[in-house]
C-alpha cells in the first residue's frame, strides 16, 4: 500500500520493507525509592526487587518501576507526596509501593523550620481564596493550630534526591534491520530503561510511514550464584572403582510456571529467560558427571538447555512426553539426560513410554481393544509419562579402576503428578522396575534410578522400590477406586535398590518440593547396593534460606519448585 492512499498505518499491517529498529537507553535511575529503609536502595539485584522483599503488599502496577501519584495512592500506584490541600507541592519523592510510602513519610516529615517550598498561585486561585467564607478561614486557622503530628501541618523536608523517570534522556544504543531484531541487555544497561523504536519505511521515497515505541521497566542485574551446599560424607569411604557425581533436578517447565499456579512469585521471576539464568548457575555449580533433568520443555531443550550443557562439555539425549504440545509446537515437557564427554560415553539407550506399556498390558490381559472396559483401563493408565534408560561407559580407565565395572545403567523418569492417583504411580514404578530388571540387572549392570517420582517416603512407590514389594493393606492400594492393579502379591521386582540420601544421612530429606500448597520429598537417587555405593550427598537448601526470598518455591533466587539433588557415587558396592 502507498502512503497517499489514506490508510491508517499500524504495526499489525503488512508493510513494505525495510523495517528499521533502533534501541535506546535511558539515563540511569540514581534513586529507585525515596524510603531510606527500602531494600531496593542502592541495588539492582533481582533478589531485592520482589514484592516479598518489600513486605508492603504488591508492587506498583509497573512492577519494578517507581510509580508517581498523590498521597491517596493505592497499593498499585503509591507515589509522590503532595500537600494536603492538593495545590502546594512540598516535595516530590517516589516510592515503589505503599509500605515504602508510609515509611518514607515518617522518615521525611520532621525538619527544621524554614524549609517550606513557596508556591506561586495564579490569579484564579487567589480569587477563590479571597472569596472563601469566614467559616472556611476559621477552619484553616483551627487547622494551623492542630496537633504537630498531623501530616497536613507538620513541616516537611525538601527531597535530597529526585527519581529521574519523568526526565529521561534517551541515548541510542544500536540500530538494526530485519524481521526479528534482538537486543540483549548487558551490565551497562543495569539501572536503565530500554526503548525500542520500530519504523516502517516507504519503499518509494524512504519516508517514515509509521512508528511505534516500546519501553521496558528498569533493567535489573543478573541474579547472583546460588548458595554453595557443603557435602555430607558417608562412612567407610575408600576402595577402588570409578567415582562420579550424579545430579537430578526437576527444572519446572515454562508451561507450568504460571501466575495462577504460583501467585506468590513475581511475574517477571516466572519468565523462562530469568529462571534459566538461575537454573543454569545451579547446574554449573553442581558440576555433575551424570545429569538427569525432568520437566525440560521441548522447545527450550533445543534453544537453551542442550546448547548450554554442550558448552559445559556434556552430551545428552531427550525424550518428551507422549502427549500433544500445549498450544504452539514444542510446548510439551520431557526428560533429558546428560553425561560428561571427557569421562563417559553412551553405548546404548532406549526410551520407555508408559502409554505403550499400558497397551501391552491390556493386550496381555486379553482385553477386547474395542470394549468399554478396555477404554476405561487405558484412560486410567495412559498419562503420557516417559523414562530414559542409558548405558554409560567410563572412558578413563586407570590402574585403580581396572578390573572393576566400567559401565552403569542410568534411569531418568518423571512419574504422574496427580496426588489423588497413587495407584497409577505405583503401576508406573512396577512397570519401570520390570523394564530395568530385564534391560540391566539381567546383565549385572549397576543401576542408578533418578527422578521426580511424585511420591513421598510413606508411599507404596517408595515401599516397592526399597523393599521389592508392597503390603496388601497399604492405603495406596486399598483406596484405589478403579482396579487397574493386580493383586498386591504380584507387584514385586528383583532389584536391590537403596536410596543414596537415606544411606548417607540416615533419612530422606524433609522436602525436595516446596510450594504454597505442598512441602515434602518427591525426588530421589536410587542405586543398586551390590555394585554401587554413595560417598556423599548435598544437603537440601535450608528452609530459612528459601523463606528469605519468598513464601515458597519458586522465587527470585530458586527458580524451580523442586530442589536440585546431588550424590557422589562409586562403582563397587558396599564395603
pLDDT in tens, 517-541: 999 999 999 999 999 999 999 999 9
How far is 293 from 314, CA to CA, in rounded Å? Answer: 13
The answer to whether residue 382 sits within a structural domain is yes
Run of H or E including 176: strand 171-177
Identify the pLDDT of residue 21.
78
The answer to whether residue 153 sits within a structural domain is no
Does the pTM exceed 0.75? yes
Identify the pLDDT of residue 387.
99
Residue 100: pLDDT above 50? yes
How far is 512 from 522, CA to CA, in rounded Å? Answer: 6
Identify the pLDDT of residue 262.
98
The answer to whether residue 528 sits within a structural domain is yes
Most confident of 26-35, 83-92, 105-114, 327-336: 327-336
Domain with 61, as residue range(s), is 46-144
Do 193 and 252 reside in the same domain of the chain?
no
**194-201 β-sheet, strand order:** 171-177, 19-25, 194-201, 208-215
Can you say whether the dihedral through the CA atoms of 440, 441, 445, 446 is positive or negative?
A: positive
2-6, 469-473, 492-496: least confident range: 2-6
Residue 104: pLDDT above 70? yes
How remote is the C-alpha of 74 from its chain's centroid? 29
Do 209 and 316 reside in the same domain of the chain?
no
Locate cell 507515589: which residue? 79
Do 16 and 52 reside in the same domain of the chain?
no
Specify the DSSP class assigned to residue 208.
E
134-148, 258-272, 346-360: least confident range: 134-148
- Provide the residue count of the chain: 575
The answer to whether residue 131 sits within a structural domain is yes
Identify the pLDDT of residue 478.
79
Q: Of residues 374 and 213, which shows the higher confidence score?
A: 374
Identify the pLDDT of residue 266.
93
Identify the pLDDT of residue 92.
61
pLDDT tens sequence across 270-303 = 999 999 999 999 999 999 999 999 999 999 999 9
Identify the pLDDT of residue 181.
66
How far is 276 from 255, CA to CA, in rounded Å? Answer: 14
| Listed residues 186, 215, 244: the one ending a domain | 215
pLDDT tier, 52 (very low <50, low <70, confident <90, very high otherwise): confident
Do 115 and 195 reside in the same domain of the chain?
no
pLDDT tier, 182 (very low <50, low <70, confident <90, very high otherwise): confident
How far is 385 from 414, CA to CA, in rounded Å? Answer: 7
pLDDT tier, 458 (very low <50, low <70, confident <90, very high otherwise): very high
Q: Give the CATH number, domain containing residue 395.
A: 3.60.10.10
Identify the pLDDT of residue 568.
98
pLDDT tier, 238 (very low <50, low <70, confident <90, very high otherwise): confident
Residue 490: pLDDT above 90? yes
How far is 261 from 539, CA to CA, in rounded Å? Answer: 27
Mean pLDDT of the chain: 81
The answer to whether residue 557 sits within a structural domain is yes
Give the up-direction half-sphere exposure of residue 198: CA atoms within 13 A in the CB hemisphere.
Answer: 16
Using alpha carbons, select from 150, 6, 147, 4 the residue that is nearest to residue 83.
150
| Listed residues 215, 245, 271: the one ending a domain | 215
Q: Integer distance in angstroms from the first to the last C-alpha of the chain?
A: 80
The answer to whether residue 457 sits within a structural domain is yes
Identify the pLDDT of residue 108.
64
Using alpha carbons, select from 93, 53, 49 the residue that is nearest to residue 71.
93
Residue 190, Cβ neighbours under 10 Å: how many? Answer: 16
Angle made by CA atoms 306, 312, 318, in degrees to the nearest 5 = 25
Do 19 and 51 reside in the same domain of the chain?
no
241-255, 370-384, 470-484, 521-535: least confident range: 470-484
Q: Of residues 84 and 411, which shows the higher confidence score?
A: 411
Percent of the chain with pLDDT over 70: 75
Using alpha carbons, select from 64, 350, 331 the residue that is nearest to residue 215.
64
Identify the pLDDT of residue 246.
99
Do 114 and 242 reside in the same domain of the chain?
no
pLDDT tier, 43 (very low <50, low <70, confident <90, very high otherwise): confident
Do 111 and 185 reside in the same domain of the chain?
no
pLDDT tens sequence across 385-405 = 999 999 999 998 776 665 557
pLDDT tier, 253 (very low <50, low <70, confident <90, very high otherwise): very high
Beta bridge partners of 497: 528
| Listed residues 144, 162, 183: the one ending a domain | 144
Do 463 and 515 reside in the same domain of the chain?
yes
Do 210 and 240 reside in the same domain of the chain?
no
Residue 197: pLDDT above 60? yes
Do 68 and 211 reside in the same domain of the chain?
no
Residue 476: pLDDT above 90? yes
Do 380 and 522 reside in the same domain of the chain?
yes
Q: Of residues 98 and 361, which shows the higher confidence score?
A: 361
How far is 522 from 534, CA to CA, in rounded Å? Answer: 19
Using alpha carbons, select from 541, 562, 546, 561 the residue that is nearest to residue 47.
546
* pLDDT average, residue stretch 145-161: 40
The answer to whether residue 229 sits within a structural domain is no
The answer to whether residue 224 sits within a structural domain is no
Beta bridge partners of 532: 571
**How many domains does the chain divide into?**
3
Identify the pLDDT of residue 133.
46
Please check whether residue 210 is in contact with residue 202, taking contact to mean a CB–CB distance below 8 angstroms: no
How far is 409 from 531, CA to CA, in rounded Å? Answer: 11
Identify the pLDDT of residue 396.
84
Identify the pLDDT of residue 69.
28
**344-353 β-sheet, strand order:** 344-353, 386-394, 407-414, 447-452, 523-528, 497-499
Do 17 and 55 reside in the same domain of the chain?
no
25-40: b or e for each residue (b if 16 or more CB lie within 10 Å)? Answer: bbeebebbbbbeebbb
Dihedral angle of Cα 300, 302, 308, 313, to the nearest 10 degrees: 150
Amino acid at each position: 500500500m502507498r502512503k497517499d492512499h489514506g490508510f491508517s498505518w499500524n504495526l499489525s499491517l503488512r508493510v513494505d520493507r525495510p523495517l528499521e529498529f533502533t534501541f535506546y537507553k535511558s539515563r540511569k535511575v540514581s534513586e529507585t525509592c525515596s524510603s531510606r529503609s527500602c531494600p531496593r536502595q542502592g541495588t539492582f539485584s533481582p533478589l531485592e526487587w520482589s514484592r516479598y522483599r518489600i513486605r508492603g503488599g504488591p508492587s506498583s502496577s509497573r512492577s519494578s518501576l517507581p510509580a508517581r501519584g498523590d498521597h491517596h495512592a493505592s497499593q498499585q500506584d503509591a507515589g509522590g507526596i503532595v500537600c494536603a490541600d492538593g495545590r502546594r507541592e512540598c516535595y516530590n519523592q517516589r516510592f515503589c509501593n505503599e509500605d515504602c510510602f508510609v515509611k518514607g513519610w515518617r522518615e521525611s516529615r520532621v525538619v527544621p523550620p524554614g524549609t517550606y517550598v513557596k508556591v506561586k498561585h495564579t490569579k484564579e486561585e487567589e480569587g477563590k481564596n479571597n472569596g472563601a467564607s469566614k467559616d472556611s478561614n476559621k477552619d484553616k486557622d483551627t487547622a494551623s493550630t492542630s496537633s504537630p503530628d498531623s501530616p497536613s501541618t507538620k513541616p516537611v523536608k525538601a527531597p535530597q534526591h529526585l527519581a529521574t523517570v519523568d526526565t529521561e534522556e534517551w541515548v541510542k544504543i544500536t540500530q538494526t534491520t530485519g524481521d526479528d531484531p534482538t537486543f540483549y541487555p548487558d551490565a551497562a544497561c543495569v539501572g536503565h530503561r530500554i526503548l525500542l523504536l520500530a519504523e516502517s519505511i516507504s519503499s518509494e521515497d524512504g519516508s517514515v510511514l509509521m512508528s511505534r515505541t516500546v519501553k521496558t521497566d528498569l533493567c535489573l542485574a543478573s541474579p547472583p550464584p546460588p548458595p554453595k551446599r557443603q557435602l555430607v560424607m558417608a562412612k567407610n569411604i575408600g576402595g577402588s572403582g570409578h567415582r562420579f557425581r550424579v545430579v537430578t533436578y526437576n527444572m519446572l517447565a515454562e508451561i507450568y510456571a504460571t501466575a495462577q499456579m504460583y501467585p506468590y512469585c513475581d511475574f517477571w521471576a516466572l519468565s523462562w529467560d530469568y529462571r534459566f539464568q538461575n537454573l543454569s548457575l545451579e547446574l554449573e555449580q553442581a558440576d555433575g558427571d551424570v545429569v538427569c533433568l525432568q520437566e525440560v520443555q521441548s522447545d527450550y531443550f533445543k534453544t537453551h538447555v542442550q546448547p548450554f550443557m554442550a558448552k559445559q562439555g556434556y552430551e545428552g539425549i531427550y525424550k518428551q512426553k507422549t502427549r500433544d504440545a500445549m498450544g504452539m509446537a514444542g510446548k510439551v515437557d520431557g526428560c533429558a539426560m546428560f553425561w560428561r564427554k571427557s569421562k563417559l560415553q553412551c553405548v546404548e539407550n532406549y526410551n520407555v513410554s508408559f502409554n505403550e506399556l499400558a497397551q501391552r498390558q491390556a493386550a496381555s490381559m486379553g482385553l477386547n481393544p474395542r470394549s468399554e472396559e478396555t477404554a476405561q483401563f487405558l484412560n486410567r493408565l495412559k498419562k503420557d509419562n516417559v523414562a530414559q534408560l542409558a548405558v554409560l561407559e567410563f572412558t578413563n580407565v586407570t590402574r585403580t579402576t581396572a578390573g572393576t565395572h566400567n559401565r552403569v545403567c542410568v534411569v531418568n523418569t518423571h512419574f504422574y503428578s496427580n496426588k489423588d492417583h497413587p495407584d497409577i504411580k505405583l503401576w508406573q514404578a512396577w512397570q519401570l522396575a520390570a523394564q530395568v530388571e530385564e534391560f540391566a540387572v539381567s546383565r549385572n549392570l549397576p543401576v542408578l534410578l533418578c527422578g521426580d517420582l511424585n511420591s513421598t517416603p510413606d508411599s507404596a512407590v517408595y515401599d516397592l522400590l526399597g523393599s521389592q514389594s508392597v503390603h496388601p493393606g497399604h492405603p495406596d492400594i486399598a483406596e484405589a477406586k478403579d482396579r487397574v492393579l493386580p493383586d498386591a502379591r504380584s507387584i514385586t521386582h528383583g532389584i536391590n535398590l537403596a536410596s543414596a540420601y537415606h544411606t548417607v544421612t540416615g533419612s530422606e530429606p524433609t522436602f525436595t518440593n516446596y510450594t504454597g500448597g505442598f512441602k515434602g520429598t518427591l525426588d530421589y537417587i536410587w542405586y543398586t547396593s551390590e555394585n554401587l555405593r554413595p560417598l556423599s550427598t548435598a544437603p537440601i537448601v535450608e528452609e530459612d534460606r528459601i523463606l528469605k526470598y519468598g513464601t515458597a518455591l519458586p522465587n527470585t533466587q530458586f527458580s524451580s519448585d523442586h530442589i536440585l539433588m546431588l550424590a557422589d557415587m562409586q562403582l563397587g558396592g558396599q564395603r
